[in-house]
Amino acid sequence: MSKDGKANLSEALWSPEKRVVVGMLVWLLLLALGSTFVSTPFQSEPSAGANIDYSHVMYLHGLLIGMVGFLSLVAMDVFGAGHKNQTLHNLILWGTLGAALFSGLGGIFNHVIADVVPLWMQIISFFFLDEILISLTIALFFRAADTRKIWTWTAAFAALSALFAAIMGHIAGWMLEFGDWPKGIIGGYATMAGMKWQDWLANLIGSHSHDMVTAVIALAVATTVAAYGLERQGSRVTKFGLWLVAFGTIAAAFVYVVGGFSPAQPPMLFAHGPNGLAGDDAITGVFVMGGGLLALIGLGLEALPDALHRWGAVVVTAILFVTVVGFGYYIEFHENVFGAGAAGAPGSPADAVFTWFHQDFAFFLMPALLTVLLALKWLAVDQGLRRSATWTLLAGAFVAFIGGMLYIFVNQASHGISFVVTTIGFVVIVIGAVLAIWSVVGRGQPQAAAVGQLQHSH
């Protein structure tokens, strides 16, 4: 480990850190491939208002927890956040391994709440995630106090927000398992807050999922900016975008914590009949996703090397923004057509698919691709394969995006042209992920520019 806290992979090509990272990439890819057998979206979302499948949710938790741990490990290295406390770095390194294994294996077999052993495997992984997020939050706030840079503060606030989301998830998980018990605590608090415990559970689940996604996106954007050594520079566009992300992350965390622990929910903006924009969607869409896109565009305009990777991050974030904000806002302002889950609405099949598409594709796959691109910059040995992997991942993401939009707005046939196009996109993404792993484990030593670099100023 170098004095600034980053893994010196050129000296230790197969250090424990790199072994964990490569193992994580392979493991998460296998889980992602397995998810196609768990829930094929064009069959599992046949109509609006479909009930949430517990086994599908827990399987995806296996993927998401591993990805958050992986991103945390990358962030620790990129920000040099472990250079003052090696213990925090080690907690994240080995916590990531434990979280990924227990959450993934548990998710494979956790089909109903009564599946005790896999359920407890995932509960153990949740505690691993807690220690990862606590360690990351402490390390990033210390680092932010040293550097006083907006990208470091943004990452620190994102880590803290993710910790709040995890706590809400724990309480919701307890109620899913044990219901209104103990009554003096669960039911008593719900009554004091002016709601039924079932309503409190629903509020916690919604706030937990939305806050975690927002925090992960903010952390991925801030880490991407920091990975290019902008410690002493950074364009005004990038800094302004990150200020928006930081504000949006803090505001969203406040809204979701209040909404999770009380009956108060975000107001509907520009309401007109059933149409309108949810207040939390306005915050996350405009500030976190819009600010993130602006920050990465500013990064792309910087006179820095590695234009492909920088603009690749812009492409991924633009797909996320257009999918969630562009089309999401459009649907919210046309709920009289799409129905918001009302099966009788003329556009309800499209609304059902969009519910899957913006959750699993935009909120999950796009941040995952940003993380993989970061890992390529950090670890890639073979620079030719790294470029090929980047191009392949971007092409797959774009094709899958086109297929999803076709499915939502043109043709909802289960196995029509939309299904074919989207499937091709996913296959190309898998090929890109394999190339990414191969570029990391290839022969030779990493070039200096391939390791996440920060010019630390004190």
Model confidence at 73, in pLDDT bands (50, 70, 90)? very high
d(CA 274, CA 323): 21
Query: Which CA distances in Å does 457 have to 79, 143, 144, 232, 367?
Result: 12, 11, 11, 7, 29
Which pLDDT score, from 0 to 100, does residue 416 have?
A: 84
Q: What is the mean pLDDT of residues 104-130?
A: 92
For residue 454, the model assigns a pLDDT of 37
pLDDT at 450: 36
Neighbours of 74 (CB within 10 A): 26
Amino acid 453: pLDDT:
37
pLDDT band at 352 (very low <50, low <70, confident <90, very high): confident
Provide the pLDDT for residue 19: 81
pLDDT of 458 strictly over 70: no
- Tens-digit pLDDT profile for residues 160-174: 999 999 999 999 999
Note the pLDDT of residue 278. Answer: 93
- Three-state DSSP at 272 gives strand
* pLDDT value of position 6: 45
pTM, whole model, 2 decimals?
Answer: 0.91
87 Cβ contact list (under 8 Å, min separation 6):
none
- For 364-376, give the DSSP string: IIHHHHHHHHHHH
Q: Which residue has the higher pLDDT, 242 or 50?
A: 242
DSSP β-bridge partners for residue 152: none
Tell me the pLDDT of the chain averaged across its residues.
86
Bridge partners, residue 390, by sequence: none
**pLDDT tops 80 at residue 47:** no
